[in-house]
Chains A and B, each alone.
Chain A
Amino acid sequence: MSYRARTRIVPWLFLLPALVWYFIFLVYPMAYSFVISLTDWDGLSRTSNWVGFANYINIVFNDEVSRLALRNNVIWTVGTLLIPTILGLVLAVLLDQKLFGRTMFRTIIYSPAVLPLVAVGLIWAWMYNPQFGFINEVLKAIGLGHLARGWLSTFETALPATFVTAIWTGVGFSMTVYLAALQGIPAEQYEAARIDGATGLRLFWHITLPWLREAHVIVLSLAVISSFKVFDLIYTMTYGGPGRSTQVMGTWMYFNAFQYYHAGYGSAIAWVIAIITLTVAVPYIRHMSRD
C-alpha cells in the first residue's frame, strides 16, 4: 500500500470501532424511530401502514394535549433558565469566598445532582403528601397551616411544585460549573479594577460576568436541553396529572408510544423533542468545538 493511501485509510481505521458502536446504538435506532414516526405502527403488531407526515401534522395542528405539553415545556425551560441558573451563580459567588465550611456547603448543595431522578421524585412526592407530608407538617408547625394544601393534587400548583424539585436537583450542577469558571478568573483582573476604584457590584458586572461567558453557554444550553427532555420527575410525582395539567412532551411521548399503542405517533413526538433540542444543542456544540 502506498504511503498516501495509508495516510488516508489509517485514521478511519482508528475511528472504526467507535463509529461502528455509534452507528449501531445511536444512528440506527434514531433512523429507525424516524421511519416508525412515518407509520401508524402500534408498537405490538407485525404490520403497520405508511402515513407520511400525518403524525407530525396532528401533533402541531390537532392534538391539544401536545400543545399543552409544549406550553408546559416552555414554562419549565424559562423557569430553568432563570431560577437554578441565577441561584447557582449566586451560590457559586458566595462559596468562592473564603468562608468557614465552604467545602461542606458545596458538597451539600451539589449532592442532589448525583441522585437518580426517579428516587428524587418519589421522595418529594412523599414530602408533598397532603396528609402526612413533610412540607405541610412544617407549614402547620410554624403557624402557616393555612398554606398547607395538596401541592401535587391541585391543578394550579402541581407543575410549580414539581419544578421546585427540579430546582433542588439542578442548582448544584450550575453552581459547580460557575465555581469552576470563577476559579479560572485571574486575580490580577480584580486587582487592576480595584486600583481603578471599582468595588462590589461594579467588579461583578465588569470582571466576573464577562469571564463567565463560557460557563453561561454551558449552563444555559444544557438547561434548555434538559428542560425539553424532562420526564422522570413528572412521571414519578404526578403521572401527568391531575387531569393532564402536568403533561410535558416527554411524558406525552411515553403515553402515546407505550400506553396508547401509537408507537408511530409517539416516535413523531420524540422527533419533535429532538428537533427542538438540536436547535439549541447544535450551536452549543459548534461553539464549544470552535473554542
Chain B
Amino acid sequence: MRTEKYLRLSSLFALTVLLTACVGVPAAPPAQAPAQQPAEQPAAPATSEKIKLRIASIWDAQAMENVQPVLDEYMKLNPNIEIVVENTAGSGAAIYPDILKTNIASGNPPDAFFMWGGEIAGPFIEAGQVADLTAYYAKYGWDKKYSPWTLDRITRNGKKYGVPWTARGMGFWYNKENFAKWGVEVPNTFAEQEALCAKLKAQNVYCVSIGGKFGWHTMRVLDYFLEHHCGPEKHDQLNALQIPWTDPCVVESYRTFQKWIDNGWVVPDFLTVEPNESRFPFFKGEAALVLEGDWYEGVLKNNEQDNTKYGFYIPPTDHTPLRFSTFPEQFMITKDSKYPDETAAFLDWFTSVETAKKYPKVFASSATLGTNPDCSEWPLTCAMREKILAAQSTYPPTDQAFRKELMDGFFEVQDSIVAKKITPEEGAKLMQQRVEEWKAKNKKS
C-alpha cells in the first residue's frame, strides 16, 4: 500500500516538474537564421492594474540612498507604477553587461537599463534587443533636452536607442595642499606635465596612481598619451580603425608609457590592483595624481576626504582644442518591455530639469541642459561640469570605442608594454594584428 502511494505521488511529482519545465522554457532560444523579428509589442494592461517597471543599473548602496527618494516621489505621483531597481554594483563595465545580457537572453528583460555610450551599447542594439526611441524623441522633444555631444555619442546608424542621463568627463585630480608642499603647480603643457612628475619623483612621490585590474584604469593614461602624440584627428581615426595602429604616434605613446614606468612616475606593480585601491597611495600623499572623472568629488566625500583641499585639471595635450576623455551614460528601453510608453514617460520625468533641481546629489552630472549641481556643496563637480558642457570637442575612452573582445587585445598589449614584455614597436604591431584578427573574426557572414 505504501509502495503504491509512493508511486502515485512520485508520478504526480514527475509530471508536475515536466509540465512546469515545459511552460518555463526560455523565450529566446537561438533559432536558425533567417528568423523574423518579434511582432508588435504586447499590449499594456489596463491602467488600473499596478505596473511594475524593472530598471537594471549599477548604482551601489550609497548611490541608491540618493536615488531611492527620487523613485519614491515618482511612485507617489503615479500610484499605479512601481519601480524596482536591479543593481549590479562594483565592477564598472567589466561585469555588468554580462549579467544584463544573460537577463535579456533568458527572456525576462528589465524594462529599461543603464548603459554607457559607444561600443559597449553596440551589441545590445545589433542584437535587436533595445527599442528605437525615435518616436519618443519626437513626443518629448528629447533632441533639444540633452547636451548635443551626448546625443551624438549615443546615436547609432542615425537612430537613437537611449536617453542620455549623465555627461561624464575625466581629468587629473590632485591635493592642493600637497602640491604646495611639494612646490609644484598645475602644468600647461605636456613637457610641464613630465617636469612635474620628475620633480615629484625627486621627492620620492609617485606622479600617478593606477589600478590596472580590468585594464580600463590603465587605459585612461594610455588614451592621454595617444591624444598627445597622435593629435585629435589621428586619435579619432585610430579609434575608428581607419588608420593602422602601427602608426609612429602609437609607438611613441607606448614609449612614453614605458618611460613613465621606468622613471618611477607611476606607483609600481599596479597591473592587477583593483581600480578602487589606486586611491590609497593618492589619499596617503604617496602619489600626486589620479585620472578620474567628475564623480570623484563624491568618492572623496565618501572616503571622508575634505573635498575643498582637492582640485583637478585637464591633462595638457599640446593640441587645440584641448580635448579630454568624456562619455555619456544612458538608459535604454528593452524591445520586449511590456511597458515602453510608461518607461519612456518615467525616463522623461527622471531626466527633467525639475527633478534634477530637486535632487542635485543624484543629477550632479546630468546630461540635461539647464541643470546644475549645487555648486556650494559640489564645487569641483560644478567646475568640471562647466568644462564638460563647454568642450568644443572631446574623445571617448577607448573601451567605448572598441568592442570588449578587441578591447582585451588592447589591454593585452597595454599590459605587455607596462611589464616591458615587448618593445613599443612590437606593441604597435601586435595591436594592429589584434585589430586585423578582430575584423576577420567579426566579418558579418
Interface string of B98-114 (1 = CB under 8 A from A): 10011011000000000
Range of interface residues on A (Cβ < 8 Å):
35 or more
Q: Is A155 an interface residue (CB 8 A)?
A: yes
Closest chain A CB from B38 CB (angstroms):
7
Provide the residues of chain A in CB contact with B270, threshold 8 Å. Answer: 130, 150, 153
Selected from B28, B104, B129, B215, the residue in CB contact (under 8 A) with A241 is B215
User: Which residue of chain B is the closest to A257 with respect to CB atoms?
Assistant: B98
Contact A36–B30 (Cβ < 8 Å): yes
- Which of A20, A50, A150, A244 is close to B272, meaning CB atoms less than 8 Å apart? A150
Question: A45 on the interface (CB 8 Å rule)?
Answer: yes
Tell me the chain A residues, 244-283 only, with Cβ under 8 Å from chain B: 244, 255, 258-264
Minimum distance in angstroms from A253 CB to a CB of chain B? 13
Report B-chain residues with C-beta under 8 Å of the C-beta of A238: 213, 272
Cα–Cα, bound, A259→B281 (Å): 31
> Closest residue to B335 on the A side, CB-wise?
A46
Which of B7, B32, B38 meets A14, CB within 8 Å?
A: B7
For the complex, is B271 an interface residue (Cβ under 8 Å from A)?
yes
Given A13-B7, A14-B10; A150-B33 close (CB under 8 Å) = no
A43, B32: Cβ atoms closer than 8 Å: no
Residues of chain A lying within 8 A (CB to CB) of residue B212: 153, 241-242
Whether the Cβ atoms of B11 and A13 lie closer than 8 Å is yes
Residues in chain B near residue A49, CB distance under 8 A: 32-33, 445
Per-residue interface assignment for chain A, residues 142 to 168, with 1 indicating a CB less than 8 Å from any chain B CB and 0 otherwise: 000000011011110010000000000
Residue contact B419 to A155, C-beta cutoff 8 Å:
yes
Interface size for chain B: under 10, 10 to 19, 20 to 34, or 35 or more residues? 35 or more
Contact residue among B6, B17, B272 (Cβ-Cβ distance under 8 Å from A153): B272
Give the chain B neighbours of A16 by CB distance below 8 A. Answer: 10-11, 14
- Known interface pairs A41-B30, A49-B33; A158-B272 also in contact (CB < 8 Å): yes
B123 contacts A by Cβ under 8 Å: yes
Q: A17-B10, A21-B17 are in contact. Are A242 and B271 (CB under 8 A)?
A: yes
| Cβ of A171 under 8 Å from chain B | no
Give Cα A158–Cα B445 distance, bound, in whole angstroms.
39
Flag whether B277 is at the interface (Cβ < 8 A).
yes
Q: Is the CB of B415 within 8 A of A243?
A: yes
Within 8 A of B (CB), among A101-155: 125, 129-132, 149-150, 152-155
Contact B35 A47 (CB under 8 A): yes
**What total of A-B pairs shows CB separation below 8 Å?**
158
B30-A150 in contact (CB<8A): no
Does B313 interact with chain A (Cβ within 8 Å)? no
Binary interface encoding of chain B residues 263-299 relative to chain A, with 1 for a CB under 8 A from any of its CBs, else 0: 0000111111110010011000000000000000000
* Candidates B13, B17, B32, B415; contact of A50 at CB < 8 Å: B32
Known contacts A13-B11, A241-B411: A44-B101 contact under CB 8 Å: yes
Instruction: Indicate the member of A17, A129, A152, A258 with the most B CB atoms within 10 Å.
Output: A17
Name the B residues within 8 Å of A129 (CB-CB).
273, 277
Q: Which of B33, B38, B272, B445 contacts A152 (CB 8 A)?
A: B272
Q: A242-B272, A255-B408 are in contact. Are A154 and B102 (CB under 8 A)?
A: no
Give CA–CA (A46, B30) in the complex, Å. 6
- Selected from B13, B31, B272, the residue in CB contact (under 8 A) with A237 is B272
Contact assessment for B11 and A155 in the assembled complex, using a CB-CB cutoff below 8 Å: no
User: B411 contacts which chain A residues (CB < 8 A)?
Assistant: 241, 243
- In the assembled complex, the Cα of A137 lies from the Cα of B128 at a distance in Å of 52
CB-nearest residue of chain A relative to B28?
A: A46
B18 at the interface (CB under 8 A from A): yes
* A24 in the interface (beta carbon within 8 A): yes
A20 x B7 contact (CB < 8 A) = no
A199 within 8 Å of B by Cβ?
no
Q: Which of B28, B34, B124, B271 contacts A150 (CB 8 A)?
A: B271
Interfacial chain A residues near B104, Cβ < 8 Å: 44
Complex CA gap A284/B28 in Å reads 38
- Bound CA span A16–B14, Å: 7
Residue on B nearest A36 in the bound complex, by CB: B30
A28, A46, A49: which has the most chain B beta carbons within 10 Å? A46
Q: Hey, what's the 0/1 contact readout for B63-103 against A, CB within 8 Å counting as 1? A: 00000000000000000000000000000001001100110
Residue B225 at the chain A interface, CB threshold 8 Å: no
Q: Which residues of chain B come closer than 8 Å to A149, judged between CB atoms?
A: 269
Query: Are the CB atoms of A20 and B18 closer together than 8 Å?
Result: yes
Complex: A175 Cα to B440 Cα, angstroms: 50
Complex CA–CA separation, A39 to B33 (angstroms): 10
| B258 beta carbon closer than 8 Å to chain A | no
Judged by a CB distance under 8 angstroms, whether B214 is at the interface is yes
Instruction: Check: A195 CB closer than 8 A to any chain B CB.
Output: no
State A49–B31 Cα separation when bound (angstroms).
Answer: 8
5 interchain pairs, CB-CB under 8 A: A237-B272, A238-B272, A239-B214, A241-B213, A258-B102
Q: Can you add 10 more A-B contacts, CB < 8 Å, to A24-B21, A41-B30, A243-B412?
A: A14-B7, A16-B10, A45-B127, A47-B33, A50-B32, A131-B277, A153-B272, A153-B419, A154-B269, A260-B408
Interface residues of B (CB under 8 A from A): 3, 6-7, 10-11, 13-14, 17-18, 21, 28-35, 37-38, 94, 97-98, 101-102, 104-105, 123-124, 126-129, 212-215, 267-274, 277, 280-281, 403-405, 408, 411-412, 415-416, 418-419, 421, 445
